[in-house]
Structures are given as structure tokens and as C-alpha cells.
Copies of this chain bind each other. A is one copy, B any other.
């Protein structure tokens, strides 16, 4: 049996997995992403997480056939660099993540876009297996998209799949990206939190921030939203309904352009809220679908929150030791 490593590098957490030849998870580890320091500090945490995951699989990281990393920011696998990863500390510039990890782990490293590798994982091993064309929708802090057409990732000039910034309302809500009316301005968790804070300032009542404190959080995490919905919190319900409507319009627009066989919904909020909300998004899409006699399948991501790391590990399959 040979093993490969996979890393899902996020703004909140680093998820590491070690995967065997049958794509089974042999070891895993999760660490918080450093909020201070430099890219080198993040690389050290990645290496530490991978070491723990490898220990779980009873292998050394140096024995892995390779390590794949799904990263935010601009990823250049040929150069080995990640540039402008704004959610990560001190990472506005370019950092040679490959060299840092190869030195720390003793195995070859391949880099990919976080959202695209998660889509590839669902396509190859998860909810996308029956289909040849898939749109991955990652509903979390932002709304990311990954595209597979005719069995292959479509990356464009490296910036395809930015579905969070599809315009759903000209002149509409301000998006954390600085633009107006993006789908993410309504559906991204960060934008929803900013909106909830404003609504509270205006005197609206909600349990969202009370639940946040009870859970020892400093942000409205997916779990906080989910609990607020369970308690019937009206503001939470209204903002989630607004998010679902925006996802219906924005993802529906993407389907009108791409006409994929399937839409797969993942991401922190998507996974947490689960199938009932996948169904609501499907219903919210319907009025916008031009070819509405032939809608795509809309499915919940099947690999859960390990999907990104598993997808990253797929990048390592074709690595050869130098």
C-alpha cells in the first residue's frame, strides 16, 4: 500500500489527510490556521498537521508518494508559489510554499486551487461520480465555484469559477470584495454577519450573537447559524432565506451559461445546513433556469469537510520523486 498526503489550507483551519491507494482516509489531523506571523509559520503548521495525519496512518511524511495542497490565493504550481492569500497572515505577496513543505516533509509537493481540488474530489470520488460536467458550489465565508466540463477541470486563465462574484443585483448590496450586488454579498457568511451586525445596530432582535458567545466563538460560524435556525430565530431565518434566493439566482445564472449535468453544494454552510437547504437552493434556482424542462441534478457534497483535503491529495498521484 502507498500513501499520499492532502492539505486543505483555509483561513480558519488546516485540514490534513493521509490517503491510501483505495482513496480511503488512513489518517487525519486538523489545526487552526495561525492568525499571526508569516507564510513560513503557516507552512510549519501545515507540516505539523501532516505529520500528525501521517502518524495516524503509521507512516512517515517522507514515505508519502507526494503531498497535494489546496490553497486560497493565486496558486502557481509550476513555480511552487502561492500569492495574495488574503485570509492568511502576512501572505499578501508571493511565497514558495512547495520548497518550504518539501524541506519540512521530505516528499514532493503539488499545489492547486482550494475550491477546484474540492470540486475534483466530488467529481471523482463523491456526489459528482455519475456526471461528466459539474459545478461545485462552496457556500461558506464566501461563495466559491469549481468547474468540471467533459471530465476535466476548467480553470480558464486561472480565475474561472468565481461564481461568488456573479452579479445578482445591479446596484445591490456591497460585497466584502468591494463590488456591488455580487451573489456573495447576499450569501457569503462574512457578508451575512456584517448584515446581521447592522440589523442589530438598527435595533433588531436576534439570538445569533448570544449563541456565538455561548459557543465561545468570535464569528458567526456555520454552527452558530444552524443553531439559530433550530431555535427559530427570525433574523437568522430572514438572512438565510435572502442567501438562498441569491444562490438560486446566481447558481441558476451559472447553469444557464454552462448547462452542466450537476450542481454540487458544499462549503461550511452548505455542509452544515445540509440536504433541506440543498433542496431550497434547487427550488430557488428553478424560476431562473432557461432550459427548465431539463434542470441539472442538485446534490449535497458527499465527502463532507474532508473533501478539500482528499481532493488535494489527488494532485499528488502523478508526482515523481526527484
Contacts of A256 in B (CB 8 A): 159, 162-163, 165-166
> In the complex, A177→B161 CA distance in Å?
27
| A57 interfacial contact with B, CB 8 Å | no
Among A250, A252, A258, A294, max chain B CB count under 10 A is at A258
Residues of chain B within 8 A (CB-CB) of A163 are: 256-257
Out of B157, B181, B257, which one reaches A162, CB within 8 Å? B257
Of A92-100, A167-175, A304-312, which stretch is located at the interface?
A167-175
* A246 is an interface residue with CB less than 8 A from chain B: yes
**A253–B166 contact, CB under 8 A?**
yes
With a cutoff of 8 Å between Cβ atoms, the chain B residues found around residue A167 in the complex are: 168, 249-250, 252-253, 288
Among A168, A172, A290, A291, max chain B CB count under 10 A is at: A290
Q: Are B287 and A158 in contact (CB under 8 A)?
A: no
Q: How many copies of this chain does the complex contain?
A: 2
Partner of A249, one of B154, B170, B259: B170
Q: In the complex, what residues of B have CB within 8 A of residue A133's CB?
A: 156-157
Instruction: Give A248-296 interface residues, CB cut-off 8 Å to B.
Output: 249-250, 252-254, 256-261, 287-288, 290-291, 294
Is A63 close to B, CB under 8 A? no
A236–B257 Cα gap in the complex (Å)?
A: 29
CB distance from A239 to the nearest CB of B (A): 15
Interface residues of A (CB under 8 A from B): 133, 145, 147, 149, 154-170, 172, 177, 179-181, 245-246, 249-250, 252-254, 256-261, 287-288, 290-291, 294
5 sampled A-B residue pairs with Cβ under 8 A: A156-B258, A159-B256, A162-B259, A168-B170, A169-B169
